[in-house]
Amino acid sequence: MKNNRIFHVSLLIVFAVVAQTRGVGAQVPMPNPGKPRTVSVPAVKEIKLKNGLTVAVVERPAMPLITVQLLVKNGSGAEPKEKAGLANLTASMLTKGTKTRSATQIAEEMEFLGSSIFSFAGWQNSSAGMSVTSDKFDAAMAVFADVARNPVFSQEELDLEKSQAVDGLTANLSQPGFLANYVASTYSYGEHPTGGTLASIASITKADVADFYAKNFRPEDSVLIFVGDISPDKAVAAAEKHFGNWQGAGKRPGDPSVPTVGSSKAAGKTLIKRLLVVDMPNSGQASVNFVKPIGGLGRRDKHFYSASLLNSLLGGGYSSRLNQEIRIKRGLSYGAGSSFGWRPTRTNFGARAQTKDESAAEVAELILAEIKRLGETVATDTELSPRKSVLTGGFGRNLETNQGIAGALADLYAFGIPTSELNAYMNNVNSVQNADVRSFASSNLFEGDLIIVGDYAKFKDDLAKRFPNVKVEVVKASDLQSSGAQ
């Protein structure tokens, strides 16, 4: 016991000396970023079957694992607004039974093979996929193809999925952060919630799901991606066997309608176009959001890389400007961030933070100040070089796994971008000039909407004081929660 006390006292003395040497509360300087690394992606072998299905193969024989992903180039953007949530329901129903297998049988067979099947829908596309060891590939592929091609959309399973979707949405609508995004999808972006509304989910029928599948799950609009311990010949043989006779069963839809938004060029230097408050009494927290739709600038645009670097600088991680200013310096939030939601011919920008109701107006002012600073000053190399490393490092790590490569390829195919861009990514990021970031911000991020969800009574006076010349539009959260409507 005596020895232990002496040891603990010694440690305290060491810590005290270190504290005196560095200064109380002093922070250790961040290390400089390492030299940029390059990533070489294995060649993508691309073959098109007679039915129009594109097969993409990346052979990586180092590990006995294979990832398969079926990309369908239609998602929530192809569903009618009044049927919002249809793409999500359709994707989730793929694994809930086929002509020869029940949902339980699908799950049990894949579990026996050491695998599972995932399916989801985004705005731009829908996907189903799996990962399995090489020796179980043939058996797993048979189940996977059955799920992708032969769903039956049973009424019982659909009712269960709809019930779960409604329960999830009802719970989420009580969360300020979710409700802010939910409202922004229509109010600012001119779209609809990808997960649907309470009314739209209730209206979706089995016939709706079957019709959406028939129109949108078609070989000529799909890509079957193989990554891992599989040769191009074996992958093509598997694709021919399981998908070679796949034909679209319904009338092929036209291109998904894209909501019309304003020009990507800011009309002036005013930051706020509109200010919307969703009043949620006793919310406990407020969600503060600045959102801006940017028209005429889609995922294929060369400015994608300037936007990506801007996003990393502004709200991409712990050391980003928003997080530094709002969390680290002032302790007003557990985190703040930003993002771009890319479409073929547009993108949806958003910056956000969650804070206590009393500081909502202050956080709104801080977010706007950082966006204004982006558009008015040029960031230094000291600040931007690490952000480039964050982007390229994350990209490189993502491509270390089969699923990461499959996901990256799916993103490119969804937007009609050549797969060669995988190898060009790092150079494109590092080629962005400091002035490009400022130019992008000044041209695209002004004239946006400020949306705050929280207990309005607790920040009403401060909001009026900080934004005296801005009209505040107020809606009740209870009105949205009761109907789930937009």
What pLDDT digit, counting tens, does each position of 459-477 carry? 999 999 999 999 999 999 9
Question: Could you give the count of Cα atoms lying within 13 Å of 70 in the half-sphere of its Cβ?
Answer: 27
Q: Count the Cβ atoms, other than its own, within 10 Å of residue 271.
A: 21
Q: In this structure, what DSSP letter does residue 468 have?
A: T
**pLDDT value for 148:** 98
At a CB cut-off of 8 Å and minimum separation 6, what does 114 contact? Answer: 132, 133, 136
pLDDT, one tens digit per residue, over 446-459 is: 999 999 999 999 99
Question: Are the beta carbons of 340 and 311 closer than 8 angstroms?
Answer: yes
% residues pLDDT > 90 (the chain)? 85
Residues written for the chain: 486
Residue 479 above 50 pLDDT?
yes
pLDDT for residue 486: 54
- Please report which residue ranges of 1-113 form alpha helices under DSSP H: 2-22, 86-93, 103-112
Given this model, what pLDDT does residue 41 score? 74
Q: How far apart are the first and last CA of the chain?
A: 67
pLDDT value for 102: 96
What pLDDT shows up at residue 481?
75
- φ, ψ (nearest 5 deg) of residue 62: -65, -35
What are the Cα distances from residue 148, in Å, to 36, 151, 234, 246?
41, 7, 20, 10
Confidence band of 260 (pLDDT split at 50, 70, 90): low
For 228-258, the pLDDT digits (tens) are 999 999 999 999 999 999 997 766 665 555 5
Per residue in 296-353, pLDDT (tens digit) is 999 999 999 999 999 999 999 899 999 999 999 999 999 999 999 999 999 999 999 9
Q: Find the Cα–Cα–Cα–Cα dihedral 414, 262, 180, 322, rounded to 10°.
A: 90
State the pLDDT at residue 166: 97
Q: Residue 320 in contact with residue 391, Cβ under 8 Å?
A: no
Beta carbons within 8 Å of 264's beta carbon, 6+ residues apart: 294, 295, 296, 297, 443, 444
Residue 259 has pLDDT above 70, yes or no: no
H or E element that contains 166: helix 155-172
Say what percent of the chain tops pLDDT 70: 87
Structure tokens at 95: 């694994």
| 8 Å CB contact between 227 and 419 | no
Q: What pLDDT score was predicted for residue 257? A: 54
Residue 441's pLDDT band (boundaries 50, 70, 90)? very high
Band (pLDDT 50/70/90 cuts) for residue 52 is very high
Distances in Å between the Cα of 55 and the Cα atoms of 120, 133, 193, 232 are: 20, 20, 31, 9
Neighbours of 117 (CB within 10 A): 22
Structure token pair of residue 180: 């802010």
Which residues pair with residue 130 across a beta bridge?
68, 117
- pLDDT, one tens digit per residue, over 78-89 is 999 999 999 999
pLDDT tier at 30 (50, 70, 90 boundaries)? low
* 71 closest CA partner among 4, 137, 124: 124
